[in-house]
């Protein structure tokens, strides 16, 4: 057995004073419950003896993973509390720690089997249990969907949440834990990296919610699954992997989480997509990150159209078709609308020509956020660079769309038609028949908040000839409910004009594939004084099969065109985690929101 006290990271004095945690990354023998429990008891006692106050074990740690029927796993199931939790409870009681362990649960009242996790407290008793909400792979042959709420367990270190492995593919369980106050999420897992690599989803759950994540994976061979390269993670609230370790041998991975007055300090203040460091931004913006959510705009996430046998008929979707879409990345000239419009029109011409060279007809072009003006930093700039939509600029692009027979999406500063002192950061959709629709940015960045009003019309999808399309803008991508709202409306394609400058959070772009739509993110690039735009625009298709996902990235410091052929059929094979509490997700009086309103 290997102990990792400091692999890949040097501890600081602050870490030494923090909360010591441990992940028991062990080889689990399939169907050998006695051997697994004996080994795990030894490893957990070693972790507890070393001073670890929170210890996390893997998913189905007592039995292994791949069972193919209720009959096959029946003899290995047990109740919670039960013999396993009592055995680990003795360690928790002696050392005053919390132990999280996954096991197949048999409900004592109904006999139903669940893929479950138990949290044992310093009293030696079970303080929480959770049943996996989204059984994956062969679990569906024996385990029922979980029917317990996502827990947020109050401890002396603050609230802890728990989910299991593939539950974190959806943003919803982790979000519910965070909204109930959890600053730390425990994730027992059995997830080989080649099966929908979980890294970006675990990192996204941490960043979206401003929480630490302890994701305990496993090693060794399961019945049919090679887990020798599976990785366990300790992830901070900025989505950074503090520890990211795999091992072919049993290993205890140690870490330390900072405490503030004895409570886990999740450094969630001042989170943004700007280029500021977390400390710099925290000084400027004291609100908790969850307070920037807009639950009054998220009602569509409660819809369940994809349980209907013919979703295309139910939603009235356009006929499935293949089409070519492009991201058009460029560096706008600050406060020079005429020059920017000319550059945008030229880029559209170049994109059409590039598509023609490959015997393709370009159907959709997406340009960056605030394309016509460049970044806006104050009300004075907004007054000179905005216009009512539709207006003169949209008329110009309508002529280009008609000339090229395509759809165009771009970002613009919008002046309210009824209040000339009210401004929005908006995107518009133009087609060959003229203005199609607009979207007003719902989630404002710190720069936006100096001049713009958040959109209050929610999220709308638009039918093109070949696909249903939704629009978001830049910073909206940090809020999974925004993309989820559009997915539930049947959107095949998500078009995102962006002005993104924080390289460390850009991984969240690909995490939005979890909302199951093709992605076109057109970013600006270059130095704008108070803002350094990142470039690196992304075109990415969605598929339920990772090997079928393709990505086209633009360079960071030049104008660029990416064109991809997409099919709407792939984006219509959506599945959603519905057995969750929407009342928490849409609570307008949540503690996080109340903290902003005080």
Q: What is the pLDDT of residue 48?
A: 98
Q: What is the pLDDT of residue 272?
A: 60
Q: pTM of the predicted model, to two decimals?
A: 0.93
Task: Give CATH for domain 2-261.
Answer: 3.60.110.10
pLDDT at 448 over 50: yes
Which residues pair with residue 324 across a beta bridge? 362, 565
Check if the beta carbon of residue 372 is closer than 8 Å to that of residue 385. yes
- Per-residue pLDDT band at 2 (split at 50, 70, 90): low
297-572 matches 2-261 in CATH topology: yes
Q: What is the pLDDT of residue 500?
A: 98
Q: What is the pLDDT of residue 596?
A: 37
Query: For 108-120, how does the pLDDT look when each residue is reduced to its tens digit (9 = 90+)?
Result: 999 999 999 999 9
Find out if CATH 3.60.110.10 is the number for domain 297-572: yes
Query: For 336-364, how does the pLDDT look when each residue is reduced to its tens digit (9 = 90+)?
Result: 999 999 999 999 999 999 999 999 999 99
Q: How far is CA 121 from CA 149, 318, 578, in A?
A: 19, 54, 30
**Domain boundaries defined on the chain:** 2-261, 297-572
- Per-residue pLDDT band at 271 (split at 50, 70, 90): low
Mean pLDDT for 267-289 is 47
- Per-residue pLDDT band at 197 (split at 50, 70, 90): confident
> Strand pairing of 423-431 and 538-540?
unpaired
CA distance 342 to 344: 5
pLDDT at 431 over 90: yes
- Which of 19-28, 195-204, 394-403, 443-452 is the least confident region? 195-204
CA distance 259 to 396: 56
Check if the beta carbon of residue 15 is closer than 8 Å to that of residue 58. no
Mean pLDDT for 268-283 is 44
Query: For 557-581, how does the pLDDT look when each residue is reduced to its tens digit (9 = 90+)?
Result: 999 999 999 999 999 999 999 999 9
Token pair in block for residue 396: 């110009």
CA distance 428 to 469: 12
Half-sphere exposure of 569 (CA within 13 A, CB side): 4
pLDDT at 84 over 80: yes
């Amino acid at each position: 057995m290997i102990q990792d006290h400091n692999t890949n990271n040097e501890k600081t004095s602050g870490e030494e004073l923090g909360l010591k945690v441990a992940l028991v990354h062990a080889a689990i023998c399939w169907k050998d419950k006695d051997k697994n429990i004996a080994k795990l008891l030894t490893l957990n006692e070693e972790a507890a003896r070393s001073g670890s106050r929170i210890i996390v074990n893997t998913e189905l740690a007592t039995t292994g993973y791949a069972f193919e029927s209720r009959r096959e796993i029946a003899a290995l199931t047990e109740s919670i509390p039960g013999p396993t939790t009592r055995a680990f409870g003795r360690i928790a009681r002696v050392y005053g720690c919390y132990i999280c362990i996954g096991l197949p649960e048999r409900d004592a009242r109904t006999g139903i089997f669940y893929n479950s996790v138990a949290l044992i407290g310093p009293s030696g008793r079970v303080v929480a249990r959770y049943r996996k909400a989204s059984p994956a792979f062969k679990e569906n042959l024996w385990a029922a969907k979980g029917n317990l709420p996502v827990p947020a367990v109050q401890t002396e270190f603050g609230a802890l949440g728990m989910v299991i492995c593939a539950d974190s593919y959806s943003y919803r369980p982790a979000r519910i834990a965070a909204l109930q106050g959890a600053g730390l999420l425990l994730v027992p897992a059995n997830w080989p990296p080649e099966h929908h690599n979980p890294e970006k989803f675990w990192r996204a759950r941490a960043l979206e919610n401003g929480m630490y994540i302890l994701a305990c994976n496993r090693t060794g061979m399961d019945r049919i699954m090679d887990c020798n390269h599976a990785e366990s993670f300790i992830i901070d609230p900025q989505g950074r992997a503090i520890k990211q370790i795999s091992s072919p041998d049993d290993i205890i991975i140690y870490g330390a989480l900072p405490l503030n007055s004895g409570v886990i300090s999740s450094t969630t203040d001042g989170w943004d997509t700007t280029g500021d460091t977390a400390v710099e931004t925290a000084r400027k913006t004291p609100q908790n990150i969850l307070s920037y959510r807009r639950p009054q705009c998220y009602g569509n996430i409660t819809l369940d159209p994809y349980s209907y046998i013919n979703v295309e008929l139910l939603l009235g979707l356009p006929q499935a078709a293949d089409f070519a879409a492009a991201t058009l990345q460029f560096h706008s000239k600050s406060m020079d609308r005429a020059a920017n419009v000319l550059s945008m029109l030229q880029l559209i011409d170049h994109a059409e020509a590039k598509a023609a060279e490959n015997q393709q007809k370009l159907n959709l072009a997406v340009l960056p956020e605030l394309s016509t003006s460049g970044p806006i930093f104050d009300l004075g700039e907004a007054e000179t660079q905005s216009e009512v939509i539709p207006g003169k600029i949209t008329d110009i692009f309508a002529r280009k769309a008609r000339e090229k027979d395509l759809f165009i999406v771009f970002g613009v500063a919008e002046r309210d038609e009824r209040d000339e002192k009210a401004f929005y950061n908006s995107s518009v959709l133009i087609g060959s028949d003229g203005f199609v629709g607009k979207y007003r940015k719902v989630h404002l960045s710190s720069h936006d908040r100096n001049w713009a009003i958040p959109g209050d019309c929610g999220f709308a999808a638009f039918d093109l000839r070949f696909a249903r399309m939704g629009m978001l803008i830049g910073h909206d991508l940090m809020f999974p409910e925004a993309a989820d709202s559009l997915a539930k409306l049947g959107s095949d394609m998500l078009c995102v004009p962006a002005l993104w400058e924080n390289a460390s959070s850009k991984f969240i772009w690909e995490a939005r594939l979890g909302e199951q739509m093709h992605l076109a993110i057109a970013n600006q690039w270059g130095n704008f004084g108070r803002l350094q735009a990142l470039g690196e625009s992304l075109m990415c298709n969605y598929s339920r099969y990772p090997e079928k996902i393709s990505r086209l990235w633009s360079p960071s410091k030049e104008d660029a065109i990416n064109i991809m052929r997409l099919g709407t059929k792939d984006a219509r094979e959506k599945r959603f985690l519905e057995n969750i509490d929407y009342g928490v997700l849409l609570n307008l009086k949540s503690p996080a929101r109340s903290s902003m309103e005080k």
